[in-house]
Amino acid sequence: MRRHRRRLRRGRGPAGLDAAEDLDAGAWARTLDVNLTGTFRLAQAVGRHMLAAGTGRIVNIASQAAHVGLDRHAAYCASKAGVLGLTRVLALEWGGRGVTVNTVSPTVVLTDLGRAAWAKAAGIRHQDEIPTGRFATPAEIAAAVLFLASDGAAMVNGADLRVDGGFTIR
């Protein structure tokens, strides 16, 4: 416990946010395991059923961090960029068999975790970098996912829908 407190004081924590030269190998691995390997395993498991049925929609969650470099986010940015690459491969392999695969790339989302992580000055500064001047709501992300999962998006395959208030247009 003492070691964990010492790491938190230096700005290192379980989220794996740290300068790249100081990023712990375990934090790197955990972030990739959750964000990229977890996405692959879930898509593979449901994809098998969808392929057998000849129809389905998979919507993976990437991030604005898949498109830009964010300070102290080496593992997170890498994992979310990996989700984009994985999505393109699955869309290519499965699209002709009735299963579309797309991503949604949100900005910070105002969940309990998002509010807690971005409640301080860094959150205010980050919102100032977003042309709409605010973070996304869970309902806005759900609406984007719902569209990509709908029959109205049957010809959308391998796409990334950025729901980031324009953050990545710069």
Q: Is 76 a catalytic residue?
A: yes
SS3 call for 70: coil
- Partners of 7 in beta bridges: none
Among 35, 64, 76, 87, the one annotated catalytic: 76
Measured in whole angstroms, the distance separating CA 68 from the mean position of its chain's CA atoms is 12
Q: Phi, psi at residue 60, to the nearest 5°?
A: -90, 155
Cα separation of 158 and 148, whole Å?
A: 11
Cα separation of 121 and 116, whole Å?
A: 12
Which residues, at least 6 apart from 12, have a Cβ–Cβ distance to it below 8 Å?
18, 22, 24, 27
Tokens found for residue 28: 């790197």
The catalytic residues are: 76
